[in-house]
Structure 1
């Protein structure tokens, strides 16, 4: 029996938060600094229409999701947690990306017990179904929704999620921080 049910977002959480921003900026020939990326929506950060950004995304989503850059430490921490905990990836990616997402995780040798490609940012129902103990997220709106219904959320720091003060959300700065928070949580819950 595994100790915890850990739900993990993918984009911006196990992958680099700014990979897509950089690719879109290059495509639209726009200069943008990561520290100026204050909102989760790329179109707002780039000053382009949502329609233009969506056109870019649809054109390149398969190619770029194959190339996503892993965050430092993500693979090692997830694989270590996998030994004692249930690892579930819960992503808002649209269903057309399910196979490529599964292949990406497997090609990067990231172990997991389940992959849920929801096609929506609403993750509460899936977290409840999975009896989630900890949810690792980077999207502030998702984190607040999950926290507001009682889930413990680890929010991976990014320039677009720094304006939050919520008792159910713990800000983390790296995958080492995530590992430490989970170990501390287990100790407090006496599930080690």
Structure 2
């Protein structure tokens, strides 16, 4: 039997947080740097209308997501965690990207028990359904929703999630730190 149910976001969490920057800068003729990405929503960062960004994204989503590089140590840590824990990817990506996302994870040799492509940033119901013990996320609003609902959240540090945290959220800086914290959580759960 596996120990913890670990829910993991994909974009910006297992992948580089600024994966979309080059292609988006090029398309909108901007020169935004990673340091200037202080908001989560890309149209706000770019200073363009949401509809304009949505049209660009719809036409370029496969290329945008295909070029995503994994964060350092993400694959290695997830492989180790998958040996004794359930790994569930829970992403806000639109449902049309389900097969593409399965392929991306397989291509990058990332093990998982299941993938949920929600088409929405609201993840609390899925966390509840999966009996989530810890949720790894990069979106500040998602982290607040999940933590307020009682879930432990590991918020991977980015320029766009620098607001104050509550007691259920721990800011983490890399995947090795995530591995260490999950091991501590496992020890705590075994001691109960």
TM-score (norm 2): 0.97
Which runs of structure 2 are paired with 1:14-163 in the superposition (5 Å)?
14-163=14-163
Q: Distance in 2 between matches of 1:26 and 1:99?
A: 27
Structure 1 position 47, deviation (Å) = 0.9
Deviation digits for residues 160-188 of structure 1 (CA, Å, limit 9, x no counterpart): 00112211100000001110110111122
Deviation digits for residues 122-153 of structure 1 (CA, Å, limit 9, x no counterpart): 10111001000000000000000000010000
SS at 1:190's partner residue?
A: helix
**Runs of 5+ consecutive residues of structure 1 not aligned to the other structure:** none
Q: Distance in 1 between matches of 2:114 and 2:66?
A: 19
2:179 aligned residue? 179
Structure 1 runs, 4 residues or longer, greater than 2 Å off: none
Kept in 1: contact 2:91–2:119 (CA 8 A):
yes
Q: Distance in 1 between matches of 2:135 and 2:164?
A: 16
Kept in 1: contact 2:8–2:89 (CA 8 A):
yes
TM-score (norm 1): 0.97
**Runs of 5+ consecutive residues of structure 2 not aligned to the other structure:** none
Say which is worse superposed, 84-93 or 54-63, in terms of deviation.
54-63
**Number of positions where the alignment pairs a residue of Structure 1 with one of Structure 2:** 191
Q: Distance in 2 between matches of 1:45 and 1:163?
A: 16
Structure 1 position 55, deviation (Å) = 1.2
